[in-house]
Amino acid sequence: MAKGEGRAFIRETGRDAGTAVRVIRVRDPATGAYFDKWFTGRNPKAAADKARAWREQHGDSAPSRTNDITVVMAIESYLRWHAAQVETSKPRLHTVETLAYTARKIKGDPIAAVPLQRLTKQDVDEMIWRLQGGDNPISSSYALQVRSLLSRAVEKVVDDGHVARNVVVKSAKVRVEHKEREPLTAVEIDAITEVAKSRSTRDYALIAVLRLGLRRGELTGLCWEDIELDIEKPRVRVRDQLLRGGRVVMGPLKTKEAKRTLKMKPGGMIVEALSALRATRPNATGYVFVTKNGTPLDPSNCYHLVRRIGREAGIENVDMHDFRHWTSDTLHASGVPIAQIMRFLGHKDHRMTLATYNKLRAEDLDEAAAALD
C-alpha cells in the first residue's frame, strides 16, 4: 500500500475509542460504484497491515454487499489467499495444488452458486450427500477434505467481516471409515522388484530404494551427492524432498527428525541397483531419479509409476507407502528396537511408529503367551 493511501484516524468516542482505523476506497464490480471499506486495529500499523493484506488479496474491486458473495467466490478468494502465503513459506507448497484439486468438487456442485448470506448447514449436508452418491462417488476421507476446505473459506469471509457466522461448522460431521490395509508380504515385494528390474534400470533402483522406507518426496528428492556407494559402509543421506504445488521444487522435510542417514548393506541389492543406475544414466540435474528428458521425477508421477509396476506384478492398488509399512514391519520382526525403527523412518514420535506401522500379528500373541507361561 502506497504511503498516504486511504484515510487513517483514531476513534475518540464510543465503545471502540482508542482503536486505529484505516479506510480505503474499493470498487463494486457489479455496479461500478465505489465505497469505503474500514479496517481496525490496536494501533495505526495494525490497521494499515490489515488493509494492505486485503488489497493484495482482492485488488481494487470486491463485492460491497454480502449478498454478492457466493460460495465459489469465497473458495476462489481463499485459494488466492492461501497461494499468497506460500511466498512467505507459511504453508507447505504442495498443499496449494491439493486445495485447488479439492476445490473442483465444490465448484462443480450446485452449492457453488449459493450466496453465503443464504447458505445453510442443510446446503452443506446435501452437497456432501451428492458427492458421496451419484455415478462417481468420493470417499469419506475425500468428503472430509471438501467440507474442511469449504469451512476454512467461509471462515476467511467471516474474518473479513462479510458474514456473521460460519454455518459449515454446524453441518453434519463426515465420518471417515479407516480400512485396514493388508501389508505387503516379502513374496509380493520380491515380485514387484522383479517386474521393475525387467522394465528398466531406473525402475529397478527406484523399487530397491523404496525398501529403505522413504516417503515419496524424500525418494524423488534424492541427489547423487546424498548417496555414497563406494565406501566400506554405503549410506543414503535424506536431507530434502521434492514438493509439488503447481511446480516441482526442492523443499524442507516433513519434520526435523526426517533428516537422517540410512546405512545400506555392502554389495546388497540396493547398492547394486543404485550402482547400475549411476553407471547407465548420468544426468546434469544431479537427481537420482529422473524422466527420459532428464528432469526430476514428479512425486505424483512416481506414485502412479509404482502402482503400474504393482499391477504388472499381479498386485492391485500398490501404494508407495506400503513399502514404508513393509520396512517397519520387517525391522520389527527382525528384533530391531522401536526407538531405532522410529529414527530409521524419520518419525517424530515413537507412538506414530507403534500405532500406525507395527501391527500386532497372531504369531506375536503366540510368542507372548509362551513367554508368560
Q: Is 80 inside any structural domain? A: yes
| 336 and 195 share one domain | yes
Select from 39, 62, 85 the last residue of a domain.
62
Band of the pLDDT at 2, cuts 50, 70, 90?
very low
Select from 19, 45, 62 the last residue of a domain.
62
| % of the chain exceeding 70 in pLDDT | 78
| 341 and 195 share one domain | yes
Question: 217: domain CATH number?
Answer: 1.10.443.10
| 36 and 169 share one domain | no
Select from 41, 62, 83 the last residue of a domain.
62
C-alpha cell at 89: 513459506
| 164 and 234 share one domain | no
Q: Is 13 inside any structural domain? A: yes
User: SS3 for 12?
Assistant: coil
Band of the pLDDT at 1, cuts 50, 70, 90?
very low
| 213 and 329 share one domain | yes
Give the Cα separation of 141 and 150 in Å (integer): 15
Report pLDDT digits (tens) over 305-322: 999 999 999 988 888 888
| 216 and 332 share one domain | yes
| 53 and 74 share one domain | no
Q: Is 370 inside any structural domain? A: no
| 228 and 203 share one domain | yes
Q: Which of 282, 294, 295 is nearest to 247 (CA)?
A: 295
C-alpha cell at 278: 549411476
| 93 and 197 share one domain | no
Contact between 297 and 287 under an 8 Å Cβ cutoff? The reply is yes
Q: Is 112 inside any structural domain? A: yes
Q: Is 373 inside any structural domain? A: no
Burial of 162 (0-12, 13-18, 19+ CB in 10 A): buried
| 294 and 279 share one domain | yes
Q: Is 372 inside any structural domain? A: no
| 243 and 127 share one domain | no
| Residue 230, domain extent | 186-365
Range from 51-60, 169-178, 194-203, 348-357 carrying the lowest mean pLDDT: 348-357
Contact between 224 and 286 under an 8 Å Cβ cutoff? The reply is yes
Report pLDDT digits (tens) over 221-265: 888 999 999 899 999 998 888 776 545 666 667 777 888 889 898
Host H or E run for residue 237: strand 235-238
The number of folded domains in the chain is 3
| 321 and 257 share one domain | yes
